[in-house]
A and B are shown apart, each in its own frame.
Chain A
Amino acid sequence: MPVYNLKINGSSQTVEADQDTPLLWVLRDQLDLVGTKFGCGIGQCGACTIHLDGSATRSCLLKVSMVQDMNITTIEGISEDASHPVQQAWKEIDVPQCGYCQAGQIMSATAFLNQNSNPSTSDIRDAMSGNICRCASYNRIERAVALAASKMD
């Protein structure tokens, strides 16, 4: 079985996997990074969002063979102690209900705010529309992204 060297959350990891294995399952099953969630497997719900060289990417569609030498960041990697401004905003607003989609939401929000530090409401709604929250905690997600933007100024 092929061996891949991955750069995840700033450290190198060597994994053995079939070349078509989605990064999502390498993270979850092999590396015990279970914060990245499985939701749909077809890139429609955003629960599996990670950062690939800083861009929000759906890890369920990303083959492990394609991400060598790229910087992979998961929810576990954005801070050690929930101190990232987006996490702080999520905390302040008390966003989650069931909580399952929230890591993906936070990863989408983080990548988005890195590109647009002063977003309008409609920018936020567009940027976050790729992430489904089945509990519909959308009002709070919207408020938390706006709050995080102000914290990141």
Chain B
Amino acid sequence: MKNIASTSLSRRSFIKTSALAGGGVLIGFNLFQACKPEATPPVDISKLNFNDFNAFIKIADNGMVTIFSPNPEIGQGVKTSMPMIIAEELDVSWDNVHVEQGALDTKNFTRQVAGGSQSIRFGWEALRQTGATARQMLINAAAAKWGIDAADCKTENGIIVHPNGEQLGYGDVVNDAALLEIPENVTLKKPKDFKIIGKDAWNVDLDKIITGKPLFGLDYKEKGMMHAVVLRPPAFGKKLLDYDDSEAKTVSGVEKIIKFGDKVAVLAKDTWSAMKAKKMLKANWTSDSKLEDSETHDKILTDLLNGNEFKTMRADGDIKKAFAAADQVIERVYESPFLPHNCMEPMNFFADVTADKVRLVGPIQTPAGTAKRVAELLERDVEEVSVEMTRMGGGFGRRLYGDFALEAAEISKLAQQPVKVIYSREDDMSAGIYRPSIKYKISASVKDGEITGYHLKEASVNSNMYGLIPNFFPAGAIENYQVDVAAYDSNITTGAWRAPYTNFLSFAEQSFFDELAEILEVDRIKLRLDLLQKVKGTTDERIQYSPERLEKVINVAVDKSGWGNANDDVYQGFSAYYCHNTHVAEVADVVLENDMPVVKKVTCVVDCGIVVNPLGAKNQIEGGVIDGIGHAMYGDFSFANGEPEHNNFNTYRLIRINETPVVETHFIENELAPTGLGEPTLPPAGAAVANAIKAAKGIRLYKQPFMKYMNAKAPLG
């Protein structure tokens, strides 16, 4: 079981303090050195420059605490929750904490990513150690002043208390503390003593968001900056032959039109002029590779599933033997389309490339990797590249790929001007890095009423399955178990999309188990629980999930959803899944309105360990569930002749508020280390709804989006 990221770290390796010129102290820590589970002290502390630290706590003379959070904020809430963990161990009042996005300069960062729901899980131990170390230094300074043993002092809300009741504020001793040795072996709080962790904290950017202050990449501007809109090949497989910009040039406000690679950038004084002129560019394209379409992919993936070209990811027992000896073999195929990310804030990035430095500003989930790629592209030293991160109008995986930042850098270099590249929605949906189209074939062998074998085959465009996924449920629960993958190399770009690898897999598997229960005529909850019993006490270190924790969320979901006791007109569907280190069970309540299934409510039970910020956590859970339902119901993206068949919200449907169920969240209370919530509630949602639709209409859904395959005519918007 690998549920808890325990870190063995040396404070000396990642914490350093410095007195501030204007009073107060700056405590620097290298979060990403400390966060790696396998972290080893990187170098001798004496050789570390203060710049090697990427997150800071500033304690002012007046006791006010500023925490500079280094992590990219994409709406997952870490800009609020990570500083909460520091403040808890520092033992200050959350009201006295001010949070800022860390000042960023990639040359000093070793790892800085928002992705995989890992920020809180990896940050937990390091953030606590940091807060506790700072607190101990302040206590040591006060104890020295009083001439007593530090162990006799207590702290409370930023105040150090002498046994005789005398008090010193953190601000009173902070300048002395800065000169002290960094203490070793600090004591962490017991979870029962938490005052900030576990209590609702409001989004630290809330006021700015609701008053429309500039926060996002699209809002960023500098004097002299050009707005750049880019004409890209209209289809995957096409390249630029030539172009005519004579008409585009006549648009007032247009300053430059620059070709780079197979793209043409229009630079203008304002966004609209650039967008307008781009539409006037007349380009001729040629094909340099196949122009693919979704119908062909469909056939290719089916052939792959039925073929023999698989790579085996995990094999237990003997699948062939189990299937040969079976009384019954059940086999089902599940199919998904591509999906675009559609962040509300279209891709954009600012770049200013000059002779001595490269400045990048914008929304990016991977600033360090992007700085490196920009340096390579421009043939510059990575030390010359800096990245400043703005708040992001959504990420969902799309902003892991810095392609838009590379474009901005290249255009700025050619134009010798600062530029901000802006994608229109059409650009954003057409120049995507999509969730690949995937098919699964799942087969189970049954002998004497027992599931004796389970064979999962994946066929995907480009790639999907990742190393650890074959060790998720039901691995370990079925004696003969095998996971095989095959992929078709396409020129359509694909990549991570919220809950990558499992966002569709969970639908396939949790639909399959539901149907298996029907065929075997056993209770669908019992079937899952019986399988989990077989995993308990396993010595298989590869198994990622905890059968006990999965069992618990299932049982609580049954209880809280009123499973089996719903009103006659309510049809329920069940799903339970482990991914991103978090265990989740969901029950969807569906009713029929004009014979159409409508999801009214989803009961979601989550075991993510300690809940750092319940208010933020519930927001992630509600969003994840509804996002999962929205894409399972409506998400339909396809290609014809290499060209996306949808490029805006008039034909590409996203879920809207009037189609949204109420999400009721329940947490499993425990004192285990916290895990992330940006992704894990999304994958089980599709299956919970599909299983409810089966109960309501008798239709078993094997393909997404459901709306298409229920032959439903549902109005858009």
* Number of inter-chain CB pairs below 8 Å: 193
Closest to B426 in A: A41
Is B218's beta carbon under 8 Å from chain A? yes
The chain B residue sitting closest to A39, CB to CB, is: B344
Of A21, A87, A97, A98, which one neighbours B210 at CB under 8 angstroms? A87
Interface residues of A in 27-41 (CB under 8 A from B): 28-30, 32-41
Pick the most buried of B252, B275, B626, B649: most chain A CB atoms within 10 A of its CB.
Answer: B649
Structural contact, B210 and A82, CB atoms closer than 8 A: yes
Chain A residues with Cβ under 8 A from B623's Cβ? 97, 135-137
Q: Are A21 and B615 in contact (CB-based, < 8 A)? A: no
The answer to whether A96 and B271 touch across the interface, beta carbons within 8 angstroms, is no
Q: Does A69 contact B (CB under 8 A)?
A: no
Give the chain A neighbours of B611 by CB distance below 8 A. none
Contacts of A135 in B (CB 8 A): 75, 344, 394, 623, 627
B624: nearest residue on chain A (CB-CB)?
A136
Q: Is the CB of B74 within 8 A of A98?
A: yes
Selected contact of A134 from candidates B77, B209, B271, B394, CB within 8 Å: B394
B 212-243 binary contact with A (CB < 8 Å = 1; else 0) = 11111011010000010000000000000000
Q: Which of B632-676 contact A (CB under 8 A)?
A: 648-650, 654-658, 660, 662-663
Chain B residues touching A, range: 35 or more
Q: How far is the CB of A143 from chain B (nearest CB, A)?
A: 10
Do B425 and A39 touch across chains, with their CB atoms under 8 A apart? yes
A40 touches B425 (CB 8 A): yes
Q: Given A33-B212, A130-B717 in contact, is the A97-B619 Cβ separation under 8 Å? A: yes
Is B7 located at the chain interface by the 8 A CB criterion? Answer: no
| Neighbouring B residues of A130 by C-beta, 8 Å | 717
Do the beta carbons of B212 and A140 come within 8 Å of each other? no
Interface size bracket, A side: 35 or more
**Contact among A38, A82, A125, A132 for B218, CB-based, below 8 A:** A38
Q: Mark B604-627, 1 if CB is under 8 A from A, else 0.
A: 000000000001100110111111
A96 touches B210 (CB 8 A): yes
B650 touches A42 (CB 8 A): yes
Question: Beyond A37-B344, A40-B649, A41-B424, is A91–B210 a contact (Cβ under 8 Å)?
Answer: yes
Q: Is A139 positioned at the interface, with any CB of B under 8 Å from its CB?
A: yes
Q: State whether the Cβ of B245 lies closer than 8 Å to any Cβ in chain A.
A: no
Q: Would B272 and A99 count as touching, CB distance under 8 A?
A: no
The residues of A that contact B394 with a CB separation of less than 8 Å are: 98, 100, 134-135
B252 touches A129 (CB 8 A): no
Check A138 against B626 for contact (C-beta < 8 Å): yes
Report which residue of B272, B343, B615 has the largest number of chain A beta carbons within 10 angstroms of its beta carbon.
B272
Contacts of B292 in A (CB 8 A): none
Q: Is the beta-carbon distance between A28 and B271 smaller than 8 angstroms?
A: yes
Q: Please judge, given known A-B contacts A34-B219, A139-B662, whether A132 and B211 are in contact too, CB under 8 Å.
A: no
Closest 6 A/B residue pairs (Cβ): A35-B212, A98-B75, A100-B393, A75-B212, A136-B626, A99-B209
A-B contact pairs, 25 of them (CB 8 A): A32-B221, A34-B212, A34-B218, A35-B213, A38-B346, A76-B211, A82-B211, A90-B206, A96-B203, A97-B75, A97-B77, A98-B74, A98-B75, A98-B394, A100-B216, A100-B343, A128-B658, A129-B657, A130-B717, A134-B344, A134-B627, A136-B660, A138-B655, A139-B626, A140-B622
| Additional pairs, 7, CB under 8 Å, beyond known A96-B205, A103-B210 | A25-B271, A41-B425, A87-B211, A132-B656, A136-B625, A136-B655, A137-B619
